[in-house]
């Protein structure tokens, strides 16, 4: 269990051992639809996803978590993430490995020292474990896609006066960056799939209307500033407006903005 927002398990809010602060936090998260939304998924994200109770597991698992090899992978090999399971499975191609129970290559020897009884069978099962994941999240399907190299956003700040801000356009490097709030309960989309935004109803065709807006301010830029707004449709038009702005902030820009809103 690593993170309920990036895995498929749900926090038991009725647990008597769960601290009250965590209960409040998770109850609020569930109330406001906090969950993982797959967008911009890359090989780095796929590898860093928690393996056990993967968010994108298939409905029917090919290899069960609690078989003897699942226990070995968790307890002896300390596998927690998809990338670690993949690296373990790829040991089948290690240099000098004969892929037999009696193999004495360095890779098999190291695995036996951790307590693994049959490294070859354990690695074969690791491939089956990865088959539990939907193809869009299986890093083996995207082997040609390189992991993201650290960029300027991954560098440490020069001093305490510099605070890094996350840029929405940057490449995602951690599953936590996929978590969003105020999501719907609809079926979760696949990785990289964009949700289709509902099309607004087509408004009835109306003729274009030409009008003018403006704002003015006396003593602009000072504490005594007073501004007003105007909307003009035409000579003697009943829709014409002259507005006095009664807001805490008074400036020429405020007057112009109020005029646009009033129009």
The more confidently predicted of residues 146 and 212 is 212
| Distance separating alpha carbons of residues 5 and 36, to the nearest angstrom | 6
Distance CA 255, CA 245 (A): 7
pLDDT category at 133 given cuts 50, 70, 90 is very high
Give the model's pLDDT for residue 178. Answer: 94
73 pLDDT band, cuts 50/70/90, is very high
Mean pLDDT of the chain: 87
Q: Higher model confidence: residue 150 or residue 137?
A: 137
* Torsion angles phi and psi, residue 241, rounded to 5: -135, 145
pTM attached to this predicted model? 0.65
Q: What would the mean pLDDT of 7-29 be, rounded to a whole number?
A: 94
pLDDT tens digits along 101-110: 999 999 999 9
Please report the pLDDT score of residue 10 as a whole number.
Answer: 93
The lowest-confidence range among 43-57, 114-128, 132-146, 167-181 is: 167-181
Reported as a pLDDT band with limits 50, 70 and 90, residue 157 is low
Classify the C-alpha dihedral 94-95-98-100 as positive or negative.
Answer: negative
What is the reported pLDDT for 1? 82
The pLDDT value recorded for residue 208 is: 85
Angle at CA of residue 176, ends 74 and 128, nearest 5°: 35
On whether the CB atoms of residues 13 and 23 are closer than 8 A, the answer is: yes
- Mean pLDDT over 232-249 rounds to 91
Could you read off the pLDDT of 168-221 as tens digits, one per residue?
566 889 999 999 999 986 655 555 554 454 455 555 667 888 999 999 999 998
């Amino acid at each position: 269990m690593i993170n309920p927002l990036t895995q498929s398990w749900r926090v038991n809010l009725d647990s008597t051992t769960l601290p009250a602060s965590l209960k409040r936090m998770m109850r609020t998260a569930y109330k406001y639809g906090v969950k993982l939304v797959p967008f911009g998924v890359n090989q780095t994200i796929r590898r860093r996803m928690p393996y056990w109770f993967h968010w994108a597991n298939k409905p029917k698992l090919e290899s069960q978590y609690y078989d003897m090899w699942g226990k070995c992978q968790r307890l002896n090999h300390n596998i927690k993430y998809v990338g670690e399971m993949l690296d373990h499975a790829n040991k089948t191609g290690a240099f000098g490995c004969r892929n037999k129970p009696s193999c004495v290559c360095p890779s098999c020897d190291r695995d036996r020292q951790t307590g693994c009884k049959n490294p070859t069978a354990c690695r074969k099962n690791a491939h089956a474990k990865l088959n539990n994941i939907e193809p869009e999240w299986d890093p083996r399907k995207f082997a040609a896609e390189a992991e993201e190299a650290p960029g300027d956003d991954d560098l440490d700040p020069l001093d305490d006066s510099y605070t890094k801000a996350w840029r929405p356009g940057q490449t995602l490097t951690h599953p936590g960056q996929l978590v969003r709030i105020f999501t719907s309960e609809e079926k979760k989309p696949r990785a990289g799939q964009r949700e289709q935004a509902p099309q607004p109803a087509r408004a009835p065709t109306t003729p274009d209307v030409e009008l003018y807006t403006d704002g003015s301010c006396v003593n602009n830029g000072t504490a005594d500033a007073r501004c007003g707004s105007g909307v003009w449709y035409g000579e003697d038009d009943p829709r014409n407006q002259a507005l006095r702005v009664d807001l805490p902030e008074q400036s020429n820009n405020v007057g112009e903005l109020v005029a646009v809103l009033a129009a």
